[in-house]
Chain A
Amino acid sequence: MTDEIEIKDRAAREAADKVADYEHGWSSDIETEFAEKGLNEDTVRFISAKKNEPEWMLEWRLKAFRMWQEMTPPDWAKLNVPPIDYQDAYYYAAPKAKKKLESLDEVDPEILKVYEKLGIPIEEQKVLAGVEGARKVAVDAVFDSVSVATTFRAELERAGVIFRSISEAIKEYPDLVRKWLGKVVPMHDNYFATLNCAVFSDGTFVYIPEGVRCPMELSTYFRINAENTGQFERTLIVADKGSYVSYLEGCTAPMRDENQLHAAVVELVALDDAEIKYSTVQNWYPGDAEGKGGIYNFVTKRALCQGKNSKVSWTQVETGSAVTWKYPSCVLNGENSVGEFYSVAVTNNYQQADTGTKMIHNGKGSRSTIISKGISAGRSNNTYRGLVRVAPNAEGVRNFTQCDSLLLGSDCGAHTVPYIEVRNPSAQIEHEATTSKISDDQLFYAMQRGLGQEEAVALIVNGFAKEVLQQLPMEFAVEAQKLLGISLEGSVG
């Protein structure tokens, strides 16, 4: 173990000590410009007009909206979700328009305060403060629905990297956006993805040109801050031949009683020899201990490993949201392409998570690895749902899947639903699954050595999830370790 990791562990522990309840439970006071409540074609037109979108974009949105009206929500997940009244919500909220910002100094101090409370990692605060030699992490700050500030644009541009809010990209790079938007997740893919196509508010566009290794990690902080406002983020990342990018996404939300709907779509494209590493720490408000409130998180994330030797790696740490419906997937079209899915999902109290991945092997020699760690506590339900599919022409495919579930207490549920469809006899598919309870022996051993009960739980759970946590970039690993401990507070004893 290196000293660096040592320090990380300590930082995580100290941070955890400071945090009592849900630390992001507050909302800031910023004037919001809403679209009218409800959802109809006028809402879609309003959003498009607000964003000064070109005609083709509006048409695309309207087409999706009409399609969505004919669709029904999926019901196959092991989730118990009350019916959502889509007319009883706002679909557009933006901080009041200001003139174009030259620097972060010009950002609404209220918004900066939000980031401060959020505890945006010190390194990034240094970056934001312009500290010499601070680690380069570009922040495309998505506050509510509109991108407020983008840093490091110049340096990225020197490398030829395009890092924009998707609204900007639609205007500045329409050909690139049109080429790939909806190509990984088709407009008709599923109820929530179609809804997102119609009303997506903002999000991120990244293009890494051929042969370029992105000079910094890209990170976006999503935040829901307006009452009754659905969030419909849209992210598109295209890695051209031989390029590499690591993208970090972190999420928190203020405490509200209302259930807030979130239906994001993330599309990744990796061409020949390109690699994308996409990491998420999701800490949206999970609802209170009685199951009241919390975010409904219906996300469609999919990667197209289109080129030969392309690689996409999803890493997610899911601790928040009342309901999580999320299957970051890889369509492995390229010969010898690689898909990876590393997941930790924690559910406590009345949280419900149905999450996993799909690895669609169309390319010869394509390989995939799935490591899923589910941790259930309280009265929660935690389901791993995964599909491994091998197409008839895909020779020499390999998959390894490991699904481990850890139970805390006796009122929670852990479920594993693997689907394996192999149509080529040369495939090698391995699936391992375990379910265990956190043992009294382990807890007592740790406590006898000096750890308090919750510290002991956090330590053991972090050990259980280690294979996944170590996939995260360092600054996220700290946050993730902290979150695991916080999310499980009060779950034993």
Chain B
Amino acid sequence: MLQITNLHATVADKPILKGLTLSLNAGEIHAIMGPNGAGKSTLGYVLSGRPGYEVTEGSVTFNGEDLLAMDPHERAAAGLFLGFQYPVEIPGVSNVQFLREALNAQRKHRGEEPLSGGEFLKLARAQADAMGMDMEMLKRPVNVGFSGGEKKRNEMVQMGIIDPALAILDETDSGLDIDALRVVGEGINRIMRRPDKAVLLITHYQRLLDYVQPDFVHVLADGRITRSGGPELALELEREGYKELAA
């Protein structure tokens, strides 16, 4: 599904990714772990096309297409979803309006009919219920006045509504208490644990992986994948720390 080959990227002319190679197949969940400053968030931004993150070398294909040639909204329409580490507030724009416009923009891009107000609300309600989020929250402006946990939960509701093929989840577990962590973990499994989907979980800690069992775990250090393994690698990292393993 996703093939990253020898990816180099800079931010403000500073090299951050330095030859990263990684392959994700449909049906797989990959966890990327690593110390602060290793380039984990940069990887998420580069893959989703954030302006200011410049690819200097390498290639990325997504279902056979050149991902790097697409604009951010085209990547979204192609099925790529980024769960933000710090979800953004948009005053005056309700979640419902935001997501419906976004979803219908994606559908339009794919040549699909837009969802009507009624169809969309039904979908949104189902996803909000599944994440234990009050429908009233969906009527409030996007992330405005939400707690850290509510924002992360909202990201999962958005992911459920958009129903992407590939989810890149950037520190989705940060700032969550243990109950919220379980709810978010279950959400990821429910929405994304499917034969036709894949997940790239970017995380600092092992604890989310108690709820979302990865098929593969990779260590990202200094802009490269330095080690790959199965779920046991995460436990090892938790025990030993990154210092030992990153080198």
Residues of chain A having any CB pair with chain B under 8 Å: 1, 3, 5-7, 9-10, 13, 439-442, 444-453, 455-456, 459-460, 462-467
Contacts and interface: CB of A to CB of B under 8 A. Distances in A.
B88 A445 contact: yes
Interface stretch (B57-65, B76-84, B203-211, B227-235): B76-84
B90 A442 contact: yes
Contacts of B87: 445
Contacts of A451: 73, 101-102, 105
B213 interface: no
Contacts of B120: 6
A440 B105 CA distance: 20
Nearest to A373: B92
27 contacts: A3-B117, A3-B118, A6-B96, A10-B114, A13-B101, A439-B88, A441-B88, A442-B90, A444-B50, A444-B72, A444-B88, A446-B98, A448-B49, A448-B50, A448-B81, A449-B98, A450-B162, A451-B73, A452-B105, A453-B73, A456-B73, A459-B90, A460-B90, A463-B90, A463-B91, A463-B93, A466-B93
Contact of A6 (B81, B100, B103): B100
B182 to A, nearest CB: 26
Given A455-B105, A463-B141, A466-B92, A449 B117 contact: no
Given A6-B117, A442-B88, A460 B102 contact: no
A448 B97 contact: no
Contacts of B195: none
Contacts of A459: 90, 93, 97-98, 101
Interface in B110-145: 114, 117-118, 120-121, 139, 141
B92 A465 contact: yes
A447 to B, nearest CB: 4
A465 B91 CA distance: 10
Nearest to B100: A6
Determine the interface band of chain B, counting residues with CB < 8 A from chain A. 35 or more
Contacts of A446: 90, 98, 102
Main secondary structure of the interface of B (DSSP, over half): helix
B172 interface: no
Contacts of A465: 92
Interface of B: 48-52, 71-73, 75-77, 81-82, 84, 87-94, 96-106, 109, 114, 117-118, 120-121, 139, 141, 158, 162
Given A445-B90, A449-B99, 8 more contacts: A441-B88, A444-B72, A448-B81, A451-B73, A451-B101, A455-B105, A464-B92, A467-B92
Main secondary structure of the interface of A (DSSP, over half): helix
Nearest to B138: A1
A465 B117 CA distance: 23
Contacts, number: 105
Contacts of B73: 447-448, 450-453, 455-456
B159 to A, nearest CB: 10
A88 to B, nearest CB: 45
Contacts of A448: 48-50, 72-73, 75-76, 81-82, 84
A455 B101 CA distance: 9
A122 to B, nearest CB: 18
Interface centre among A1, A3, A441, A442 (most CB of B within 10 A): A1
Contacts of B92: 462-467
A484 B124 CA distance: 27
Contacts of A466: 92-93
Nearest to A470: B92
A83 to B, nearest CB: 41
Nearest to B103: A450
A433 to B, nearest CB: 16
B108 to A, nearest CB: 9
Contact of B84 (A445, A456, A463): A445
A449 B102 contact: yes
Contacts of B103: 450
B93 A450 contact: no
Contact of A1 (B109, B114, B139): B139
Nearest to A456: B73
Contacts of A455: 73, 101, 105
Given A440-B51, A444-B50, A459-B101, A1 B91 contact: no
Contacts of A449: 76, 98-99, 102, 158, 162
A75 B87 CA distance: 47
A450 B97 contact: no
Interface centre among A441, A449, A451, A459 (most CB of B within 10 A): A449
Given A3-B118, A444-B50, A460 B109 contact: no
A174 B238 CA distance: 89
Contacts of B52: 440
Given A1-B97, A444-B50, A463-B141, A450 B106 contact: yes
A456 B101 CA distance: 10
B51 A444 contact: yes
Q: List the 3 closest pairs (A to B, CB-CB), nearest first.
A: A463-B92, A6-B117, A463-B93
B72 A10 contact: no
Nearest to B72: A447
Contacts of A439: 88
Nearest to A445: B88
A262 B52 CA distance: 45
A448 B48 CA distance: 7
Contacts of A444: 50-51, 72, 88
A442 B92 CA distance: 12
Contacts of B109: 450
